[in-house]
Amino acid sequence: MTSPSAEPDAIPAAVRADASHQLQAAVLWRRWRSRSKPRASTSGATHIPAAIGLPPAAWRHYQRFSWVIYEQRLLLLILAILLASCALVWSVAWHLQRKPPMVVRAAPSLKETALAYYGIPEISYDQIAFFLHGCLPLLYAADDAGHRLLPLAQGLVAPEIYTEAEHRLTQSGKAVSANRVTQSLTLTEVGDVVADPRSRRAAAYVRGYLTLTVRHSEAEFFPWRGQALLEVNPVGRLNPWPFYLLRFEDRTGPQAPEWDLSHDNRRWLEP
């Protein structure tokens, strides 16, 4: 008689493997069939409510802030409008960059035509002051080597003014050379400018001081005043300045400041 412990060994291995596969297939089939069935509740509750109401406090909170969604929609609409406007501006700017410029040459006005015909220029204070600062010091510049800057005034001043300045500097040339004197004129103010565009003239009163340096060590300063009458001059190679010094008077020394109250520029503009 065979013992019970020997019965499993008597079953062939192929039969045992086939039974194991059938058991696993049966378990998988039961799980597949039970996938749509609701699981049984472990707590014993059989009824599940379809909806759960909010507490009164939470419901009041949502009622008070229900307008937030409309605010978000409004902000979204405003943002969309701004983006569309920016895109429009960028497109227009890009289009204008590619557009070639257009120059319209209109005919001159009646005033411009009259000014060009009669040749009445505009007389400005800056031009007069710039001319006097560049012209008048040339009539006084001298040192022990002579008056080398005076020829630069040719064409800027009237011939009689140039001759008078040359005669004055030549007379004092020996004393200037013996004492090694350096003479220069410095302008400090150009005032009382009176202009008459029709006569193309302008008068100015100039203040400054004359500096004398002896032996390059001792310097003396003398008050200086001048009254100049200018005439508009066409710019050319001989005279690159827009003015011409037509008449000139000056005073040097302690009595020069007294001329500040007695000079009259308008008198010089009278024909």
Enumerate the domain spans of the chain.
Answer: 115-269
Candidate ranges 16-25, 121-130, 134-143, 232-241; pick with highest mean pLDDT = 134-143
CB 159 within 8 Å of CB 250: no
For residue range 199-215, what is the model confidence (pLDDT) as tens digits?
A: 888 899 999 999 888 87
Whether the full predicted model's pTM is greater than 0.85, yes or no, is no
Q: Measured between alpha carbons, how far is 222 from 67 in angstroms, rounded to an integer?
A: 89
Q: What CATH number does domain 115-269 carry, 3.40.30.10, 3.20.20.70, 3.10.450.230, 3.40.718.10? A: 3.10.450.230
